[in-house]
Amino acid sequence: MHIKSNRPCITALEAIIVDLPTIREHRLAMTTMSRQTLVIVRLSCDDGIEGIGEATTIGGLSYGDQSPESIKLTLDHYVNPLVIGMDATSVNAVLAKVDQSVQGNSLAKSALETALLDAQGKRLGAPVHALLGGAVRNSLPVLWTLASGDSARDIEEAKQLLDIRRHKVFKLKIGKRSPRQDIEHVAAIKNALGDRAEITVDINQAWSEATAARHIPDLQAAGVMLVEQPIARDNRRGMARIARMFNIPIMADEAISTPADMFDYASDGAADIVALKIAKSGGPLGVIRVAAVADAAGIGCYGGTLLEGTIGSIASAHAFAACRRLEWGTELFGPLLLKDDIVVERASVAEFELAVPDAPGLGVAIDEDKLAFYRRDKTRTTVA
């Protein structure tokens, strides 16, 4: 039983599944996307303030062990009964209560934490990054992923984005085809773009250690800036061997979620860079803790994404803005991959950077008509 206090309490927690079309097919090693599914969280408090959050993954269960449907189930049936009536201003107390009874489920926890921070920021008239210790930077460089699978189309797309000064770093998703085909694809794009752009590759765990040892030199020769998660996330010793073998920086993504993961990878020298994601770490506060361990170990930090919409991407932006060091930039392009979103003002990138909002909370508002139109359960009617 929760004791009533003079502080605002949580009165409702709603999880809404939203399906949004993408501007094109997005090909990864594990799946091909033609739409993105978001879980939008609305947290209501008895002082009339609402906090919003987002939990998003890639391709249902293709990327990880949490699906949009399981995230909603976790929030509705397990998290909701725990948090109703709790002090909405004590984010840490709410999260600790949830952690006692709900193991794992970092995406659901991230959406909850984001909503709590959004509500508290609105309550205090402060942006979320101020609640995380304050912004070190007011804008974030954002790369773009070229993932059509067609070299000519990717080259044309990259040149257009360079011309309008939206992106100058491009990630290539590889690992679905043979290594030789992938390397030819990467080399063709880098040769076409030349010094105008930097190229990174994400293998999404698709290679064996032997394949990585054989072909990473080819990627380096093609002009690649860094290689992301070339082998299975649970092969930390293999990642350490690869990191020692090559001069090109090796980035760990799926392998690192918690501060303990980061400590183990740092101890083994298993990565040069870590891809931070609020979804993996259970929220913005979790990302700050992982980044602190990386910083102490001298490992570079990079702001990753699970292709969230504007709510999740801006939540990530607040966290990344508050990280002491973020030398490798970010990939918060998720909203740009969507044909539409469910917010009043969508996140945008100009002059190669995303501005971090300075308004109270996240600085993002839901468009009720669009939410009603795109929500999967269609319980509301779209207003013409």
Query: How much is the pLDDT for 384?
Result: 37
Tell me if residue 173 is catalytic: yes
Q: Tokens in use for 262? A: 């980061």
**Fold that domain 10-129+368-373 belongs to in CATH:** Enolase-like; domain 1 (3.30.390)
- Count of CB atoms within 10 A of residue 295's CB? 16
161 phi, psi to nearest 5 deg: -70, -35
| 222 touches 210 (CB < 8 A) | no
| 8 touches 84 (CB < 8 A) | no
Residue 41 has pLDDT above 50, yes or no: yes
- Range 130-134, long-range pairs (CB < 8 A, 24+ positions): 132/284, 132/285, 132/288, 132/318, 132/319, 132/322, 133/288, 133/322, 134/322
Spell out the alpha helix ranges (H) of 106-255: 106-124, 128-131, 151-163, 179-193, 209-221, 236-245
Query: How much is the pLDDT for 30?
Result: 61
Q: What is the pLDDT of residues 195-234, one digit of tens each?
A: 999 999 999 999 999 999 999 999 999 999 999 999 999 9
Residue 1 has pLDDT above 50, yes or no: no
Task: Spot the catalytic one: 168, 173, 176, 190.
Answer: 173
Query: How much is the pLDDT for 148?
Result: 82
Residue 347 has pLDDT above 70, yes or no: yes
Question: Among 21-30, 94-103, 247-256, 270-279, which stretch is predicted with the lowest mean pLDDT?
Answer: 21-30
Cross-strand partners of 171: 145, 200
Please provide the CATH number assigned to the domain covering 131-355. 3.20.20.120
Q: Tokens in use for 127? A: 């942006």
Task: Please list the residue range(s) of the chain that carry CATH number 3.20.20.120.
Answer: 131-355
Tell me if residue 122 is catalytic: no
Q: What is the pLDDT of residues 320-336, one digit of tens each?
A: 999 999 999 999 999 99
CA distances from 239 to 65, 69, 183, 291 (A): 22, 32, 20, 19
Task: Spot the catalytic one: 54, 113, 331, 353.
Answer: 331
Position 294: which residue type?
A
Residue 347: exposure state from Cβ atoms within 10 A (0-12, 13-18, ≥19): buried
Which helix or strand (DSSP H or E) is residue 42 part of? Answer: strand 32-45
Going by pLDDT thresholds of 50, 70 and 90, the confidence category of residue 382 is very low
Q: What is the pLDDT of residues 135-192, one digit of tens each?
A: 999 999 999 999 888 999 999 999 999 999 999 999 999 998 999 999 999 999 999 9
Task: Please list the residue range(s) of the chain that carry CATH number 3.30.390.10.
Answer: 10-129+368-373
Going by pLDDT thresholds of 50, 70 and 90, the confidence category of residue 243 is very high
| 111 touches 55 (CB < 8 A) | yes
Going by pLDDT thresholds of 50, 70 and 90, the confidence category of residue 110 is very high
Residue 31 has pLDDT above 70, yes or no: no
